[in-house]
Amino acid sequence: MYFLYFDPGLGTMIAQATIAVVAGVALFSKTIMYKIKSFLGIHKKEDDFYDSIDEVEEKENTKENESNIK
């Protein structure tokens, strides 16, 4: 069976479906690996940039309060 005409719309649909399948498999595998690492305790705790700023401010406030008490 030979296709004599390949519709551009069909080609676009096939390309879109291929990209969707690849993206779906990538996200699914990433989620599964994250759950497995979390279950085994291998997952690294990532430092959040905004939390680190809050921690620095809290430490500075604590030091100021301690110096005011003395």
**Tokens for 5?**
């005409």
Spell out, as residue ranges, where the chain has pLDDT lower than 50.
Answer: none
Task: Name the DSSP class of 41.
Answer: T
| Confidence (pLDDT) at 48 | 63
Q: Is 41 left (phi over 0), alpha (psi -120 to 50) or beta?
A: left
pLDDT at 52: 62
Q: What is the pLDDT of residue 42?
A: 84
Contact between 43 and 34 (Cβ < 8 Å): yes
